[in-house]
Amino acid sequence: MNVFLWIVAALLALAFLGAGLMKLSQPKEKLAASGMAWTEDFSAGAIKGIGALEVLAAIGLILPAALGIVPVLTPLAAAGLVVVMIGAAVTHARRKEYPGIAANAVLLLLAAVVAWGRFGPYSF
């Protein structure tokens, strides 16, 4: 189970690192044009903030546990991603973007599994 949790955490970290860096590096208009219509409901600063949270969570999923420095940050990062995905699902639901909700639900479930495993029976 430990290996499974590492794999899930690594996949989540890659997904959120990519998504976060994209939100940090591209202007709001380009994100909206590339299929992220939800960005129209948020300010450019809020989008950059979401991107920064995603990047920090991606780092928090891997580095603390890998380096053995405050490894409790790993399940906290996973729990933070659960909260971010709840917010994303609510945003997509308000906009009636149902495929987005499905993607959020999968990411939320994976983050919840990492949080449960690392807070619980497979903690560091």
Residue 106 belongs to a domain = yes
Within-domain flag for 24: yes
pTM value > 0.85: yes
Gap between the Cα atoms of 3 and 18, Å rounded? 23
Count CA atoms closer than 13 A to 51's CA, side-chain side.
20
pLDDT at position 25 is 97
Q: What percent of the chain shows pLDDT beyond 70?
A: 100
Averaged pLDDT, 91-111: 95
Q: What is the mean pLDDT of the chain?
A: 96
Number of domains in the chain: 1
Estimate to the nearest angstrom the gap between the alpha carbon of 68 and the chain centroid. Answer: 22
In a domain, residue 124? The reply is no
Average pLDDT over residues 23-50: 95
Q: Which domain holds residue 9?
A: 2-119
124 pLDDT exceeds 90?
no
Q: Is the dihedral of CA 80, 5, 51, 41 positive or negative?
A: negative
d(CA 109, CA 112) in angstroms, rounded, equals 5
Q: What is the pLDDT of residues 52-87, one digit of tens each?
A: 999 999 999 999 999 999 999 999 999 999 999 999
